[in-house]
Amino acid sequence: MTAPVNLYDNVYADFASDAERAVRREAYGEDLGQSSWLTVEEWLGFADQLGAGPGAEVLEVGSGSGGPAVYLAAARGCRVTGVDLNEHGVRNARALAESKGVAQRTRFEAVDASRPLPFADGSFDAVISNDAMCHIANRAAVLRDWHRLLKPGGRALFTDAMVVTGPVSHEELAVRSSIGFYLFVPPDANEAMLCEAGFTVLAVQDVTGNAAEVASRWHAARARHRAALVAREGEANFEGLQRFLRCVHALSVERRLSRFAYLAEKSA
């Protein structure tokens, strides 16, 4: 059996350490504080598709360390509410927003996003979620809740790196899902669930290339900072995460598991 490995507690609790900063810089080019397959170009492109400009109310589901949300609030002048299950991530996000001077336009809550979110109907212009949806159960109900939270004409965008587009063995599935709950879906399932939730699907973009590239660079960066990382997370977890990153790279390059970005709109 593949042993579970811990990613998020480690990177969020140790977010500002020299090793974590160096790994992010080497893996992503520009360090947004992300813990995913996201680069800054991709993040700003998603924000543009959502129309997340000055004054817009944006909800980020699975906001992780808070780095991408804080960056978005600073770069685009929008207000961002981030929710994440991980308390280290939420704590880090609040401190980061304070240190970057955007605490007035951001808020972060520790919430399980598989349940109805504690916000009023029609309170957001946009919902964004990067590489978190695969970890969240009850997807059909979650999308109905996002629809409820959006204003008429509001947009939602989420990425899903777990779309099964080729043959994948049970060992590969086990390694790929060794860091927590994962939902794997067949092609077209997300489009169908968005439609059932009341959305119009505007675009589906294949963003598998970023997962392949980032996984490879992240693996190499962690290998370069091995000593510091092993001292923190232990040998077994270090090797488990390296195995996970090699698996993501292989499955993505061979397009057996694909990552898509789904852009959808609530009718005006």
Q: Which is nearer to ligand SAM, 184 or 268 (CB)?
A: 184
Distances (CA, A) of 42 to 20, 78, 211, 212, 216: 21, 17, 12, 14, 17
Is residue 177 within the footprint of ligand SAM (CB under 6 A)?
no
Q: DSSP letter at 4?
A: P
Q: How far is the CB of 38 from ligand SAM (least distance, A)?
A: 5
Task: Map the footprint of ligand SAM across residues 80-109, applying CB under 6 A.
Answer: 83-86, 89
Question: Which of 120, 141, 236, 227 lies closest to 183, judged by CA?
Answer: 141
Q: What does each C-alpha distance from 159 to 95, 105, 130, 156, 263 come to in angstroms?
A: 26, 24, 5, 10, 9
Q: How many chain residues interact with ligand SAM (CB under 6 A)?
A: 22
Q: Does 113 bind ligand SAM (CB under 6 A)?
A: yes
Backbone φ and ψ for 90, nearest 5 degrees, come out as -65, -40
SS3 125: strand
Of 62-70, 73-81, 187-195, 228-236: span binding ligand SAM (CB under 6 A): 62-70
- Three-state SS annotation for 10-72: HHHHCCCCHHHHHHHHHHHCCCCCCCCCCCHHHHHHHHHHHCCCCCCEEEEECCCCCHHHHHH
Using rule CB under 6 A, residue 30 touches ligand SAM:
no
Q: Give the nearest distance from C-beta 188 to ligand SAM in angstroms.
A: 23
Q: Which is nearer to ligand SAM, 33 or 154 (CB)?
A: 33
Q: Which C-beta is closer to ligand SAM: that of 167 or that of 216?
A: 216
Token pair recorded at residue 200: 């119009």
264 binds ligand SAM, rule: CB under 6 A: no
Determine the Cα angle at 253 with ends 156 and 167, to 5°: 90
3-state secondary structure of 79: strand
Residue 93 vs 264, nearer CB to ligand SAM: 93
Rule CB under 6 A: choose which of 41, 112, 188, 235 binds ligand SAM.
112
Radius of gyration for the alpha carbons in the chain, expressed in angstroms and rounded: 18
- Smallest gap from Cβ 127 to ligand SAM, in A, equals 12
Return the axis-axis angle of helices 235-253 and 208-224, rounded to nearest 10°.
150
Binds ligand SAM by CB under 6 A, chosen from 38, 149, 157, 173: 38
Q: Which stretch binds ligand SAM (CB under 6 A): 34-42, 96-104, 191-199, 218-226?
A: 34-42
Does the protein bind ligand SAM through residue 64 (CB under 6 A)?
A: yes
Q: Give every CB contact of residue 56 below 8 A, 6+ residues apart in sequence.
A: 50, 76, 78, 79, 125, 126
The three-state secondary structure class of 155 is: strand
Minimum distance from CB of 217 to ligand SAM (Å)? Answer: 15
Give the shortest CB-180-to-ligand SAM separation in angstroms: 7
Binding track, positions 125-154, relative to ligand SAM; x by CB under 6 A: -----xxx--xx------------------
* Residues found near ligand SAM in the complex (CB under 6 A): 8, 34-36, 38, 62-64, 68, 83-86, 89, 112-114, 130-132, 135-136
